A and B are shown apart, each in its own frame.
Chain A
């Protein structure tokens, strides 16, 4: 997303990137970033905790306003849990330290639409409401 942020910013749109992977963000070097020390897959907060999620986003916007040096990363004040043991196990892919998967923890890369529900496939094939599908 950092690559996209750089292109949007170049075209005249200010951006703020949320990130849970600080080293990757440092490498891609987007204009403004806010780092959350959370497992991958939970970038915008813990599920079903709306106040946690709102607080996280308020901090993101505060960070956006505060950054005046291109390439800055602000560390947000959010904690996944008292127990930081997920960090010992986390790699990338599905193995985010919350759930453990052995070996290559990615799903096979299939070149066919992957629906959450079979009904979604039926709906897409019937209505064709995809605005910008390529």
Chain B
């Protein structure tokens, strides 16, 4: 009988690291209540920006490296996902390379604009690498770059950010 509860990856990683003789990994833990910005507009009228950490890039861009790469790549949202490449050290790339929408769903989001579930898609999607092992570097290097790209999005200002990890 398989379990029906969500997989507890923190516990599984702890067990796996112990088996491999590694030190415990310290996950980021935020006990204080999260910051909050109310959603003012109906989502059907909102300009939505995608931020995805599956390591996407497009032809002509320098690919991410695999050791705490805190850079970002801006990919035009209108570009078909079939032109998007992915690179990462810690998830199975094969299915995502067959259909990048499973980690970088710009085709689907464009379809949701067409059916008016969302108002519009911000001109650029923001791609980054997950698996930054330093909370400090994720907060002090990666997050400001993402914030800058969201704040300075060409065209309509961003009303809502959708974050898609792997």
Establish whether residues B36 and A70, one from each chain, have CB atoms under 8 Å apart when the complex forms: yes
Q: Are B7 and A114 closer than 8 Å at their CB atoms?
A: no
CA distance A31 to B142 in the complex (A): 19
Could you tell me the distance between the alpha carbons of A94 and B67 in the complex, rounded to whole angstroms? Answer: 16
Interface residues of A in 69-117 (CB under 8 A from B): 70-71, 83-88, 90-94, 96-99, 103-117
A84 to B3 Cα, complex, angstroms = 7
Q: Are A88 and B65 in contact (CB under 8 A)?
A: no
Question: A13 touches which one: B37, B117, B135 (CB < 8 A)?
Answer: B37
Docked complex Cα distance between A15 and B126 (Å): 14
A93-B91, A98-B92 known; A14-B112 Cβ under 8 A: no
How does the 8 Å CB contact mask read for B63-106 relative to A, with 1 for contact and 0 for none? 11111101111100000000001110111110111110111110
Q: In the bound complex, what is the Cα–Cα distance between A108 and B15 (angstroms)?
A: 20
Contact of A132 with B28 in the complex, beta carbons under 8 Å: no
Contact A113–B64 (Cβ < 8 Å): yes
| Residue contact A64 to B160, C-beta cutoff 8 Å | yes
The answer to whether A9 and B37 touch (CB under 8 A), given A45-B101, A47-B102, A53-B108, is yes
Q: How many residues of B contact A (CB 8 A)?
A: 98
- Asked if B23 is at the interface (CB within 8 A of a chain A CB), the reply is no
CB distance from B86 to the nearest CB of A (A): 7
Bound-complex Cα distance A40 to B31 (A): 25
Q: Is the CB of A28 within 8 A of B28?
A: yes
* A129-B3 Cα distance, complex, nearest whole Å: 46
A92 and B9 contacting across the interface, CB-CB below 8 Å: yes
**A71–B33 CB distance below 8 A:** yes
In Å, the complex CA distance between A8 and B51 comes to 11
CB distance from A26 to the nearest CB of B (A): 9
Partner of B92, one of A44, A50, A99, A114: A99
Chain B, Cβ-Cβ closest to A104: B20
**A134 touching B71, Cβ below 8 Å:** yes
A58-B112, A107-B66 known; A21 vs B162 contact (CB < 8 Å): no
List 24 interface pairs A-B (beta carbons < 8 Å), by A numbering.
A8-B150, A10-B37, A14-B159, A21-B7, A23-B10, A29-B30, A37-B6, A40-B166, A44-B108, A45-B101, A45-B105, A50-B108, A61-B112, A64-B43, A70-B34, A86-B2, A87-B3, A90-B7, A98-B92, A110-B89, A116-B97, A124-B61, A127-B60, A130-B62
Beyond contacts A61-B118, A90-B9, A113-B87: 14 other A-B pairs, Cβ-Cβ < 8 A, are A1-B53, A6-B30, A6-B35, A10-B37, A19-B165, A24-B10, A29-B34, A42-B103, A43-B54, A60-B162, A86-B2, A116-B93, A130-B57, A133-B62
